[in-house]
Structure 1
């Protein structure tokens, strides 16, 4: 019984999705130049890099897990009607316990970020606030909802960049990329229950395409070896466009859900592409190593 209860609370945190959030941090380190610095100074045993990477990885685990668990707390009554199999409406998890678990996870995430620097700490507060705002208000807003959700992911990527505040000050607009990508996912996901959202699916496809153009453009500007980003973008296209095309053809909730799941997991590939664009393909591969972990967890726990 205890194991069943533990599994139910783990379900609330969407473990496969949490791995995608860690990829945000690792990509943010690449954008900040931290991986390059570590590679140059590894012989001197630079421990600060590893501590910063650990603290911010732990921070995003707390922030993401707490944010998505709060989503189930906020949706408990609606899920009792539309998705009664979920942990809270099924009775496998207590709404009150889930509330406190979510709160503690967010506090933990903020605490860990402050161990790196104040900029990271205040960014973590912003991410937590955006997550709770989306759970209780944003998701019900047709236009602002996707933007609200996208801001959560933007803040998470910038949380990784905040390891070097001076770089963050210059390159913060890069946060628009995850905002657009996640806004597209959020818009498409509204058809998971009832389907018939063809316009949103086509709009999402266009927003995905803009991400490809932007990442390739950044690679071209940042690196003379910009062509190395192409395999990452090809993998990203293979992951997201076939299930999206099937969702557009069928308009069925089942296939829309599969499209959303593929796009969420593929956030790791988006981050690997960004890491490759800024720090070269070896760092892109390091980020991409998170993908099989996320895919394995996606078989055990729901992604959406």
Structure 2
């Protein structure tokens, strides 16, 4: 197995879409940003260690990709013969070994980077990835399990002690992931207008929730002495503005393609809308991080977005990345 074969197996460019999950969760949960000092449980890990959590997500994601190809090797021989396993470039044993190794690495990085609070969520996350690929993918529960993977990834960033604070961020990515996963099921044979319309409605709902959350952050908040803090202060205005801009980029990135899939729900339309939904993950993560007040994370995710656009501009081989931590 060559390096190129390995990168194809784990869908390397698609890994960019998962890096911001834990960062958005950490911002929402108070582990990053201005709320860190008052966050209480879960803010006990130094920020530099939290940088390992996106690497944990990347390992679990890539491991899920490899496991997907292992599980789908017979079907891919008929529908996607160019993939690493059916083409003979990677053996089933190699794919399973890569999946196992990356899963273990992801769990280890979660423990080191986020402590026991993040590890407590990494375990069910890894279990969900394997459950999706080996059991749930071809069943009606598939999109639910996939969406749960993404939600758990966000919560892993917050840590077990701050789950409640990060639930809105996790819910936003969960809803988006569920919609994109449903659409991805039509990449070969097409989807239906009701399904595409429901996914588009979900995108609008997610954008509205982020917008409302950003506007609420501008409300005056009482200090310890009970004196309201003016809503127009820069500390609130700048993150709120970043959240609104990122939410706009999120909608512009995926909603037009989803609406097109409503008008023409064939395989090409479903595939294009699925790709757009994946690419919209990073702007959504940035919007959620900004809502949590962490402009540093927003800057990092802006760099991830630029890197993703640069990779796509190079015209790499068409890949259908999956919205969760494995692939359909």
Instruction: Please report the TM-score for the alignment, with normalisation by the length of structure 2.
Output: 0.82
Q: Which residue of 1 aligns with 2:116?
A: 118
Q: Does residue 1:253 correspond to 2:251, yes or no? A: no
Shift in CA distance, 25/187, structure 1 to aligned 2, threshold 3 Å: same
**Correspondence for 2:14 among 17, 35, 42:** 17
Q: Which residue of 2 aligns with 1:43?
A: none
Q: Does residue 1:28 correspond to 2:25, yes or no? A: yes
Residues in 1 aligned to 2:36 and 2:204: alpha-carbon distance in whole angstroms: 33
What is the Cα deviation at residue 121 of structure 1?
1.0
- The answer for unaligned runs of 5 or more in structure 2 is 38-44, 219-230, 232-236, 322-328
Q: Which residue of 2 aligns with 1:48?
A: 46
Q: Does residue 1:99 correspond to 2:96, yes or no? A: yes
What is the Cα deviation at residue 110 of structure 1?
0.2
* CA displacement 1:187-243 (0-9 Å, x = unmatched): 111110011422211111111111111111222233453344221111111110222
Q: Decide whether the 8 Å contact of 1:153 with 1:179 is kept in 2.
A: yes
Root-mean-square deviation over aligned CA pairs? 2.3
**Correspondence for 2:59 among 62, 66, 88:** 62
**Correspondence for 1:234 among 226, 248, 251:** 248
Residues in 1 aligned to 2:188 and 2:119: alpha-carbon distance in whole angstroms: 37
Shift in CA distance, 173/243, structure 1 to aligned 2, threshold 3 Å: closer
What is the Cα deviation at residue 39 of structure 1?
9.6
- The answer for unaligned runs of 5 or more in structure 1 is 41-46
**Correspondence for 2:163 among 165, 168, 174:** 168
Q: Which residue of 1 aligns with 2:150?
A: 153
Q: Decide whether the 8 Å contact of 1:134 with 1:148 is kept in 2.
A: yes
Q: Does residue 1:268 correspond to 2:263, yes or no? A: no
- Between the two proteins, the alignment pairs up a number of residues equal to 292
Query: Equivalent residue of 2:262, what SS?
Result: helix
Residues in 2 aligned to 1:208 and 1:183: alpha-carbon distance in whole angstroms: 11
Residues in 2 aligned to 1:171 and 1:159: alpha-carbon distance in whole angstroms: 10
Q: Decide whether the 8 Å contact of 2:25 with 2:157 is kept in 1.
A: yes
Q: Which residue of 2 aligns with 1:300?
A: 316
Query: Equivalent residue of 1:192, what SS?
Result: coil
Give runs of aligned pairs for residues 68-79 of structure 1, distance below 5 A.
68-79=65-76
* CA displacement 1:154-188 (0-9 Å, x = unmatched): 011111112xx443354435422211110000111
What is the Cα deviation at residue 20 of structure 1?
1.6
* CA displacement 1:7-32 (0-9 Å, x = unmatched): 12211212222112111122122212
The structure whose residues are more often helix, as a share, is 1
Shift in CA distance, 125/67, structure 1 to aligned 2, threshold 3 Å: same
